[in-house]
A = this chain, B = another copy of it.
């Protein structure tokens, strides 16, 4: 197995399998490496820690989000620019990826350690989005508030999408959540 290609992909696949089979806590890094035909040492060459094996790839999402925010019309108000970013994210959440997303979400929900990691990834996304808003001329604290609110909308939309893949898809869920937030803010 030693020089088979895609060591990282094999490690990710092995990790997902084992986490589903025996649970996250009951799986050691050595177990994952063994199933992938590699050693523990190699695992840590690819992933900074055990949790990270489930989160690699989030930088791409952040980039897509930021690019869409940056390219939104200059006259678009902050939350409208955020909505463009969310819809760019939505492109990643297609029907084909639904199964993987749901399995991954179930694993994360089973472990506080993994929830912590998820939250800090979302916080990093929010920080990047806030920076993109500031680059558009939005001041503080408006930029941080708009970015965090958008991530909240994303979390709600994502958890609904995972629980029930409606035919209208992720985009509609995002729009509904954002509308609900606007309605809440409009109430006295």
Contact = CB atoms under 8 A, between A and B. Distances in A.
A184 B78 contact: yes
Interface residues of A, number: 34
Interface string A63-90: 0000000000000011110000000000
Contact of A77 (B117, B142, B156, B184): B184
A93 to B, nearest CB: 17
A142 B182 CA distance: 10
A29 to B, nearest CB: 18
A133 B187 CA distance: 15
Contacts of A156: 141, 144-145, 148
Summarize A's interface: helix, strand, loop or mixed: helix
A34 to B, nearest CB: 27
A142 B177 CA distance: 8
A149 B149 CA distance: 6
A160 B145 CA distance: 13
A129 to B, nearest CB: 13
A148 to B, nearest CB: 4
Contacts of A120: 112, 115-116, 119
A115 B142 CA distance: 22
Contacts of A166: none
